């Protein structure tokens, strides 16, 4: 009996080189006895492009929401509750960082705004023990009749990334 061929395991090609056009803005949390305040994105910020809409998305522990990209839209993610691993993959023709994968850890323990340019695949995974909440400020309003959203399966695709937790 012939042994079955072993399928190659996906690998994490996570790079220290930041994908071209991706920006990270550290956010300042101002706590006092009443609670906290955190500005996320202002019209006078260097990275502000324009306003399309603001929405909230969540993920339960261990859930992966991936992969998709937009042709026109820029995303600005801020995780306001819990922790998420946000992963980006650059498959843009002609990009100096084509083939690069970046991982970012966003949330209560790392308050940052992550700016994601058009045509860059992105997705996230809740890595905490409670539901994580992400606020996204987009440059385009969502068009229900003709969505600017192009998806691939989170696990069966050509993106060189494995969503499994890395221990060690």
Position 9 confidence tier, pLDDT thresholds 50, 70, 90? very low
| Measured CA angle at 93 (ends 157, 101), to 5 deg | 50
Q: Which CATH number fits domain 23-151: 3.40.50.300, 2.60.120.10, 3.30.420.130, 3.40.190.10?
A: 2.60.120.10
Position 6 confidence tier, pLDDT thresholds 50, 70, 90? very low
pTM of the model: 0.91
Q: 19 with 167: CB under 8 angstroms?
A: no
Residue 69's pLDDT is 99
Residue 79 neighbours by CB under 8 Å, 6+ apart? 86, 106, 107, 108, 132, 133, 134, 135
The tokens for 149 are 């959203």
The tokens for 28 are 């300042």
State how far the Cα of 104 lies from the Cα of 86, in Å rounded to an integer: 5
Average pLDDT over residues 115-133: 99
């Amino acid at each position: 009996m012939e042994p079955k061929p072993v399928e190659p395991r996906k690998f994490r090609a996570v790079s220290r080189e930041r994908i071209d056009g991706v920006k990270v803005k550290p956010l300042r949390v101002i706590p006092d006895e009443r609670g906290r305040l955190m500005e996320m994105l202002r019209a006078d910020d260097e990275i502000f492009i324009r306003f399309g809409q603001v929405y909230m998305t969540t993920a339960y522990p261990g859930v992966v929401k991936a992969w998709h990209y937009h042709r026109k839209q820029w995303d600005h993610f801020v995780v306001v509750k819990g922790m998420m691993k946000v992963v980006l993959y650059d498959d843009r023709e002609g990009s100096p960082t084509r083939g690069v994968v970046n991982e970012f850890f966003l949330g209560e323990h790392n308050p940052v705004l992550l700016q994601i340019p058009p045509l860059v695949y992105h997705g996230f995974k809740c890595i905490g023990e409670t539901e994580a909440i992400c606020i996204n400020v987009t440059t385009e309003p969502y068009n229900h009749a003709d969505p600017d959203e192009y998806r691939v399966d989170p696990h069966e695709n050509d993106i060189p990334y494995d969503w499994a937790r890395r221990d060690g």
